[in-house]
Structure 1
Amino acid sequence: MISLAREGGYWLAVIDRPEKANSLTPEMLERLCEIAEAAREAKVLVITGTGRVFSAGADLDAARAGLATSPLWERLSGALAAVPGLSICALNGTVAGGAMGMALACDLRIAVPGAKVFYPVMALGFLPQPSDPARLASLVGPARTKMILMAGQKVPVEEARDWGLIDRIVVPEDLLVTARALAEDTLAADPSHAAAIKALIG
């Protein structure tokens, strides 16, 4: 349910459980962690999903069994943030809950029209993963972070782009084409050059 295609330094990870809104089981989350950790060898890592939802976060049954508060979420976002190359979250649809951590930890976020972003931790009684609020606030500011985390707002990607949370909106058929185009300069560069530029940005 998690596939990985490698084409030289270009890695494409796909969440493929569309019948369950790409909700993540412990095994899927572990696999994503392994891919993100191994992506230190990649020049570019793109994460996307199949169907109309990028990911609804934790699988409901798994969440009730403890996945909602698993350290795997923080392990995943930490590994993504540590990728020395360019990481792109290509949102093929709505992103919700713990899956927001993946999007926040990537360098770039592109999305299809009509998708939404939301993180219903207030309603569900969970805390967000430790690094997510700071990453979100660095992109959209503290007030809009509270709009998402405390007011529980489902933010359309068109508005999220205005906030700085989404970098570009493209039609579904161009989503991965756009991701690949954004990757070209990094793919053509020496990995150490890309890593040095990324380190300067912080």
Structure 2
Amino acid sequence: MVVARSGGIARIVLDRPGKANALTAEMLAALRDAVLAAQDRVLVLTGAGTVFSAGADLEAARAGLATSPLWEEVSAAVAGFAGLSIAALNGSCAGGALGMVLACDLRVAVPEARMFYPVMRLGYLPQPSDPGRLRALVGPSRAKLLLMGGAKVGAAEALAMGLLDAVAEDVDAAAAALSADVLAAPDGHGPAIKRMI
């Protein structure tokens, strides 16, 4: 994982591209701690390479990571971030990694990104807060489509259903554009509006 801070933006990059940014317990704990430590106006979560994250590392999942409370802790940290949080999906997002994406305020993805959460097929329950956040974005039927029907949705479909807020070839530039007003506002203005929403 790489954390970079510049101009009011904390940018956290999942950096295991050779393994499709599959997450281990150590990565999840480091991600949680990095988000909790961020005091910036904007938080951007992205990945290295061409995949945002394949979810849990397979070996770690077999060893119990799939049901670890760390997933919920990461999502709670993201949801609790006072400023604007943006998931800049440089590629597909699967499984538990979708939880941190759902916890972000905004989601932007490259056109070729696909999103899926195969808990039904794998026999796991989703993390506790994920179904509620998913339902709030896409409605109950589409939440069931993703969680129970095993649907894999492309970026265009995800945008149409409300799972994404924008699709862009350059997600870093899109995240920067979405951050501009927050960065230009007086101190505390962004968090105040976020609390009102």
Q: Structure 1 length as normaliser, TM-score?
A: 0.96
**2:9 aligned residue:** 10
Retained in 2: the 8 A contact 1:85–1:191? no
Q: 1:42 aligns with which of 35, 40, 61?
A: 40
C-alpha distance in 2, partners of 1:8/1:160?
30
Q: Which runs of 5+ in 1 are unaligned?
A: none
Superposed CA offset, 1:162-185 (max 9, x none)? 0011111111xx210111111111
Retained in 2: the 8 A contact 1:14–1:47? yes
C-alpha distance in 2, partners of 1:65/1:191?
44
**2:150 aligned residue:** 152
Superposed CA offset, 1:27-67 (max 9, x none)? 1111110111112x110000000111100111000001111
2:180 is aligned with 1:168: no
**2:188 aligned residue:** 192
**2:28 aligned residue:** 29
**1:113 aligned residue:** 111
**Matched position secondary structure for 1:109:** strand
How large is the Cα RMSD of the aligned pairs? 0.8
Q: Which has the higher helix share?
A: 1
Sequence identity of aligned pairs in percent? 60
C-alpha distance in 2, partners of 1:169/1:47?
15
**1:131 aligned residue:** 129
C-alpha distance in 2, partners of 1:71/1:8?
33
C-alpha distance in 1, partners of 2:57/2:114?
18
In the TM superposition, residue 112 of structure 1 has moved relative to its aligned partner by 0.3
C-alpha distance in 2, partners of 1:45/1:191?
16
C-alpha distance in 2, partners of 1:71/1:112?
29
C-alpha distance in 1, partners of 2:19/2:2?
16
Instruction: Report the residue type matching 1:30 in the other structure.
Output: A
**1:74 aligned residue:** 72
In the TM superposition, residue 25 of structure 1 has moved relative to its aligned partner by 0.8
Instruction: Report the residue type matching 1:89 in the other structure.
Output: A
Instruction: Number of aligned residue pairs: give it.
Output: 197
Instruction: Report the residue type matching 1:62 in the other structure.
Output: A
Q: Which runs of 5+ in 2 are unaligned?
A: none
Superposed CA offset, 1:42-97 (max 9, x none)? 10000000111100111000001111111010001001001110000000000000
In the TM superposition, residue 8 of structure 1 has moved relative to its aligned partner by 3.4
In the TM superposition, residue 193 of structure 1 has moved relative to its aligned partner by 1.3
In the TM superposition, residue 190 of structure 1 has moved relative to its aligned partner by 2.9
Which ranges of 4 or more aligned residues in structure 1 deviate by more than 2 Å? none
